[in-house]
Chains A and B, each alone.
Chain A
Amino acid sequence: AAGVIQSPRHLIKEKRETATLKCYPIPRHDTVYWYQQGPGQDPQFLISFYEKMQSDKGSIPDRFSAQQFSDYHSELNMSSLELGDSALYFCASSLVGIREPETQYFGPGTRLLVL
């Protein structure tokens, strides 16, 4: 079965540069979530989108922005990168429905290293 796809898998940037992370949800899933996992830490929720509208916002810095497009893929844009932004960025997708409990399926993550 198709899973959540994230690209790129690895990214190296320098301080003050920008980065764009992409997420392609499981087909027919309507909700996308972004999580940030720092070294040795648990995943922290950043932001989510349902049907192309922002549905929830967590601890996402103002330097970051995200959106969900008409084909349901999502992009996380990160500007003025800082060393502390080095982390594994997970995307997850789910289908909000009434028949089954909503379950988030995770992508493999994008490992961002800021030098």
Chain B
Amino acid sequence: AQRVTQPEKLLSVFKGAPVELKCNYSYSGSPELFWYVQYSRQRLQLLLRHISRESIKGFTADLNKGETSFHLKKPFAQEEDSAMYYCALKETSGSRLTFGEGTQLTVNP
């Protein structure tokens, strides 16, 4: 069965510092990977999807099939990046999302 692991429940950095939120997955096929963000008291919002290879709000994520990872990176963190981040996997044969446990990012001034 597919599984998504985010090893860090909490991550705290200072403003302007680089940040990396780790995500590892296990899935026998070719998955689609996503990063969702949940700001305080707001809904889950799509941040990135690996298929698009885009940069949103300065965040990037590269799918590394060899390491089965999809880490989220930003070179210079901002206070407004403080939120809960979820890595999610979608199987090629279905539509359901399997989420990781989430990482609460806090960017300190």
Contacts and interface: CB of A to CB of B under 8 A. Distances in A.
- A pairs with B: yes
B95 A43 contact: no
A55 B93 CA distance: 12
Interface residues of B, number: 22
Interface in A9-64: 31, 33, 35, 41-45, 48, 50, 55-56, 58
B42 interface: yes
**Interface footprint category on A:** 20 to 34
Interface in A91-115: 92, 94, 96, 101-109
Interface in B52-109: 52, 86, 90, 94-102
Interface in B32-65: 32, 34, 36, 42-46, 49, 51-52
Interface of A: 3-4, 31, 33, 35, 41-45, 48, 50, 55-56, 58, 90, 92, 94, 96, 101-109
